[in-house]
Structure formats: C-alpha cells, structure tokens
C-alpha cells in the first residue's frame, strides 16, 4: 500500500498480488491522466481513506464512479459509509480494510454481507482469536497484515504545534 501516485512504478516492480494506492484527491487526479497496462490495472487497487470530509463526499462519489466505469474493480473500504459508493454495482472486488477492526466471525460475516470478498483482520487480533477463525472458515478470505506503519489515531481537529513538532495534550 502506498500513499503517493509517483511511487507506483516502484510498487509495481514488487511481487505483491495487489498494489494499493490511497484514493486522495491528488492521487485520483494524477492516475486519471496516466494509463496503466492491463497487467498493472489487474493488480491495482484503490484504498479509500477512512475519513472523507462532508465537503469532499460528492467529489469522491463521482471519482469512484468514474474509475469503476473505466475498469478499476478492486477497492479497499475503510469505513461503513464507503459501501454507499458501491451500492447496486456488480463485478467489484471489495476488501474490508484494517480500520474495521475485524476480530471475529460475526464481524467478518457482516462485511461479507456488504459485498467484501476479503477482510484485513484487526491489527490487534490475538493468537487465540486467529485460532478460533481457523476452526471453521469464515465467509470472507481473512488477511493478516504482518508489516506496516499503522497510524495511532485519526482526527479532524487541528493538532497544536510547538515549533515544528506536534504537541499532544
């Protein structure tokens, strides 16, 4: 998963099955001007940001529709409201991101009902919870993230700065 469109070339050199790009406005507009090869397009996935401000909802809805119409079928959703972007649309590959904090069979069944084929399990899942999931295969393919830099939190409120460093109080 990458956050900048300019890192795509290097990411496609990796052996990863999918290359996820955060679906922020700058990336959405930059990829609209590029042409991906059919092989790249097959491996490409948009990752919707967990927080989309109200003022950006219409733009994001139009962008998602525009990309869906052009064959971008793999999307990582990271918020329950993201499912509204994909209502009544067939042929998509939806992946529930780690922001859903999925840790049990009931939670996995819920995202499956919304159309997800895969689900990234909670970064805080315990070994016992993982073992319980292996007893009876869940309704979606569970994905375990083994490496990354997860954010500690997400806030719409501005962070106080002290000099050039954030100061959390």
Segment 82-93, tens digit of pLDDT: 999 999 889 999
* pLDDT classification of 152: cutoffs 50, 70, 90: confident
Q: What mean pLDDT value characterizes the chain?
A: 91
Q: Which residue has the tokens 């909670």?
A: 122
Q: What is the mean pLDDT of residues 142-169?
A: 75
Looking at residue 21, the DSSP 8-state letter turns out to be: E
Segment 33-49, tens digit of pLDDT: 998 999 999 999 999 99
Segment 99-117, tens digit of pLDDT: 999 999 999 999 999 999 9
Phi-psi region of 71 (alpha: psi -120 to 50; beta: other; left: phi over 0): left
How many Å apart are CA 119 and CA 141, to the nearest integer? 6
Strand ranges, E, within 79-160? 93-96, 116-120, 141-143
């Amino acid at each position: 998963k990458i956050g900048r469109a300019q890192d795509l070339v290097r990411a496609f050199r990796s052996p990863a099955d999918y290359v996820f790009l955060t679906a922020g406005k700058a990336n959405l507009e930059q990829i609209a001007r590029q042409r991906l090869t059919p092989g790249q397009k097959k491996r490409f996935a948009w990752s919707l940001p967990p927080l989309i401000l109200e003022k950006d909802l219409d733009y994001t809805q139009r962008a998602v529709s525009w990309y869906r119409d052009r064959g971008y079928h793999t999307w990582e959703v990271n918020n329950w409201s993201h499912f509204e972007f994909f209502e009544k649309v067939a042929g998509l590959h939806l992946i529930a991101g780690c922001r859903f904090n999925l840790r049990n069979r009931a939670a996995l069944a819920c995202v499956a009902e919304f159309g997800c084929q895969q689900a990234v399990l909670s970064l805080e899942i315990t070994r016992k919870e993982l073992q319980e999931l292996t007893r009876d295969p869940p309704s979606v393919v569970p994905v375990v993230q083994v490496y990354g830099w997860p954010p500690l939190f997400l806030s719409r409120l501005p962070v106080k700065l002290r000099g050039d460093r954030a100061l959390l109080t």
